Structure 1
Amino acid sequence: MQCPRCGTKMPVYRNPAPTVDIIIETEGGIVLIERKNPPYGWALPGGFVDYGESFEDAARREAFEETGLTVHLHRQLHTYSDPDRDARQHTASTVFIATADGQPVAADDARNAGIFTRNNLPELAFDHAVILQDYFRYKDTGVLPS
């Protein structure tokens, strides 16, 4: 890679892309979205952190963009960084637990949105089944993933 101004050769760094996922707790369960873009399937609301944006602001923005819900972040659950968690590229996702009132409405990258419980989860994209397994264990025991 070369500097566009002076032509100096610059190293290219391959770093994981920072992302966020949000477990939104509502009165009836947790909010999932059906993805409009590949990879298709049901997933936690979330997405890429923009340059200059905090992870917390990214979580609130992504939740609102995909579900129309204004969320209140309560805690970070864990950061998931397995290089194979997203087939498109290496990502590292910080997962937040949040609450919201109201019904989700699919928008932006979401084709559909719904509220699910641990007993009726659809097949999930990425590593979101692992994330939700960790979440439900945390809710049952108070022990965070390590």
Structure 2
Amino acid sequence: MAYDRLTCPRCGETVKAYRNPVPTVDIIIETAGGIVLIERKNEPLGWALPGGFVDYGETLETAAIREAREETSLEIRNLRLLGCYSDPARDLRQHTISTVFIATADGLPQAADDAAAVAVIPLDQLPVELCFDHRKILDDYLLTIGRFPADRP
């Protein structure tokens, strides 16, 4: 079976199959005391920003709100764009493009859905090792808010 061709279910014609990056969202949740991180239940294991795949028919903003609620049990607000991250190697499972948002929340986060644990980490104690490209994202965030990452002057 050729993976670069598909059969149209309506007419039976062979059409070219396109491999496209998969859209995802990640959310930097600012809360009293620092940034919310989750410990992932699934591969790749480790600490990461809350986030996930955008569902078909869902806006990026709606996906960010849903993923934050599903993984941290927090209702986020003041959603604003940090940037987009598209390195094909950012997720070794497949090529993803992440739209990263910054948001605020009150309350105590609780791990749910794909999160095995959740923690609020002070900005000066952010871990160096994070899943995907999340450390780069957090370094960009720190520069955006006028703080320098620990390994930069």
Normalized against structure 1, the TM-score is what?
A: 0.93
Question: Aligned partners of 2:100 and 2:133: how far apart in 1?
Answer: 12
Q: Alpha-carbon deviation of 1:117?
A: 1.8
- Structure 1, unmatched stretches of 5+, are 142-146
- 2:118 maps to what in 1? 113
RMSD: 1.0
Question: Aligned partners of 1:74 and 1:17: how far apart in 2?
Answer: 22
Question: Aligned partners of 2:132 and 2:99: how far apart in 1?
Answer: 14
- 1:81 maps to what in 2? 86
Question: Aligned partners of 2:123 and 2:106: how far apart in 1?
Answer: 19
Q: Does 1:99 align with 2:107?
A: no
Question: Aligned partners of 1:107 and 1:73: how far apart in 2?
Answer: 22
Give secondary structure in 1 for the equivalent of 2:58: coil
Give secondary structure in 2 for the equivalent of 1:129: helix
- 1:124 maps to what in 2? 130
* Structure of higher CA gyration radius: 2
CA contact (8 A) 1:33 1:42 kept: yes
Give secondary structure in 2 for the equivalent of 1:10: strand
- 1:18 maps to what in 2? 23
Give secondary structure in 2 for the equivalent of 1:108: coil
Normalized against structure 2, the TM-score is what?
A: 0.89
Q: Does 1:135 align with 2:141?
A: yes
- Could you tell me which amino acid in structure 1 is paired with residue 36 of structure 2? V
Q: Alpha-carbon deviation of 1:54?
A: 0.3
Give secondary structure in 2 for the equivalent of 1:115: strand
- 1:9 maps to what in 2? 14
Question: Aligned partners of 1:19 and 1:106: how far apart in 2?
Answer: 20
Question: Aligned partners of 2:14 and 2:122: how far apart in 1?
Answer: 53
Question: Aligned partners of 1:102 and 1:8: how far apart in 2?
Answer: 55
Q: Percent identity?
A: 65
Would you say how many aligned residue pairs link Structure 1 and Structure 2? 141
- Structure 2, unmatched stretches of 5+, are 1-5, 148-153
